[in-house]
Amino acid sequence: MALSGEVASLTFEARLTKAPGLALFGENGVTGKEYFLTLKGTGDVSKIPGLKEIQEEEIEFLLILDCSSSMEGNPWHQVQKAVLKVMHMIKANQKLSLTVMMYSNSARFLTLSSDFPVAQKQILAVQASGATNFVSVFDTMGLMLKKRGLPSMNQEKKRDMVAYFMTDGCDTCNTHDGIMTARESLKRTIAAYGQVVHIHALGFGVNHNEEFLESLTMIGTSDGSYNYIDPKMGGNALEERIVGLLTEEAGLVGRNVYLNLQLSGDNQFLGDWFGSSCQTSVLSAFFETKGDQATIETSKITPMANREHDKDLDELIRAAEVGLELSRKVMEPEKMLAKEELRKEIKGIRGGYKFHVWIGCSIDQSLSKEFNVLQGFRSWSDIRQGRKLRSKRENADLSRLCWMISLEQRQGNRIYCGEICFLGDYGMNGLNVSARGTNVNGGGQCSPKSYVK
């Protein structure tokens, strides 16, 4: 296979790696065997169009550390240990950089020495003390982003940013309205920054505000994640979680591309619609270079094993109807289930698997967190792009609802799932249904199919 541009042509060797069978179907069902395609090419990669932009892409990791008095003792020691681990991980990677912000009564940046042993001593010398001021954090981060956007001869380069906001408590310096105003101001600044910004929140201890931290993960250019670090998980839990998040984000330094693939003879790819097939397929892929070698890794590629798919499709629709029925019980006040009853119904579906029922408006907050019941409704394009449906309650269009039921099973280090998406006017014009099988870490197509209950 050759990658050609105006001034470059590179020949790649292809290697197929078998992926675990999709949990919903197994290896011998409608999807057949699934593969990841890796292309490796060696040559003069310097002439590849766009290479300069790829090589210049960088990620900045911003650690936002709560060093207030409530963190004194073991919690702060865990944070210091995690920071030292992160410093060690990224010191040899020129595409990654680290910025540390600490906050208590106010937020300030810690300028780390380029000498690693000295930087370690700087981190270990910080003592936990003072109050907790979230507003100062938001203002300080916003000011940093604004400064990078100003035209200047000595302007600091704008980079994609991944922020990790850590706290064990709540703001003790500001009013609720003041905190919300500062948060929304930071959200607008991030939107105007012009680069990717992800925010992950890590809460530990019994006093942190889970709902607030989860809301912080949604003010970036795309959603981050909320993580609760339970003290019972051990002294390395925070370090392990941060390292895991950082490793995932660090793997994004490169360029997303698309490959056009074609099969010969009677061979077919699984199509966008369940049960459909095609000879050509466009796969999303990730392109990166190292030295004189270029590598392209695709999302899953799925050749058709057979056309005997009716039974599997019927099973998908049956599972979706169960999810829809649960959603209706939640939505209709006269059929409202008690939380414990709903938990039992959800947990009782297809034992051995984990189901999430997602509906298009807000219900009980604690139930929402436990079962990923999402607030609000965005659009069909969000579903097609595999995004979680998140929006503020006041922006929700409650005349149109969306239900999604997801079947998950762990296989190795990946999670595979089968999904049904419903979109339509509740109880009026039937439903648009889409069935999708995808790796939650990768791509996947989602096409509508008319289905009236």
Q: What is the pLDDT of residue 59?
A: 81
pLDDT digits (tens, 9 = 90+) for 320-356: 444 445 444 444 444 444 445 544 544 443 333 333 3
How does residue 190 score in pLDDT terms, banded at 50, 70 and 90? Answer: very high
The string of DSSP codes covering 142-160 is HHHHHHHTS--TTPPPP-E
pLDDT digits (tens, 9 = 90+) for 206-228: 777 888 888 898 898 877 888 88
Q: What is the pLDDT of residue 99?
A: 93
pLDDT digits (tens, 9 = 90+) for 274-313: 445 666 666 556 666 666 667 766 655 555 444 444 444 4
Q: Where along the chain do its domains lie?
A: 58-252
386: its two tokens: 């595999």
- Cα 263 from chain centroid? 32
Q: Are 373 and 363 in contact (CB under 8 A)?
A: yes
Average pLDDT of the residues in 244-254? 64
Q: DSSP character for 381?
A: H
Residue 422 clears pLDDT 90, i.e. is over it: no
How does residue 54 score in pLDDT terms, banded at 50, 70 and 90? Answer: low
Strand order, beta sheet including 9-19: 2-4, 9-19, 34-42, 293-301, 280-290, 255-262
Least confident of 36-40, 238-242, 342-346, 367-371: 367-371
Higher pLDDT pick, 245 / 126 = 126
Beta strands in 193-242 (DSSP E): 197-204, 226-229
Q: DSSP character for 335?
A: G
Average pLDDT of the residues in 58-67? 90
Q: Does domain 58-252 have CATH number 2.40.50.140?
A: no
How does residue 262 score in pLDDT terms, banded at 50, 70 and 90? Answer: low
How does residue 134 score in pLDDT terms, banded at 50, 70 and 90? Answer: very high
What's the whole-number average pLDDT of the chain? 62
CA distance 266 to 175: 67
Residues found in the chain: 453
How does residue 230 score in pLDDT terms, banded at 50, 70 and 90? Answer: confident
258: its two tokens: 């698309």
Least confident of 143-147, 231-235, 431-435: 431-435
Q: Are 300 and 411 in contact (CB under 8 A)?
A: no
Higher pLDDT pick, 38 / 350 = 38
- Cα 415 from chain centroid? 13
Query: In Å, what is the CA distance from 271 to each residue of 278, 307, 335?
Result: 6, 12, 39
Query: In Å, what is the CA distance from 333 to each residue of 104, 330, 392, 405, 421?
Result: 45, 7, 22, 21, 23
Residue 39 clears pLDDT 60, i.e. is over it: yes
Closest CA to 281 of 34, 70, 76, 95: 34
Strand order, beta sheet including 96-103: 107-110, 96-103, 59-66, 160-167, 197-204, 226-229
Higher pLDDT pick, 385 / 301 = 301
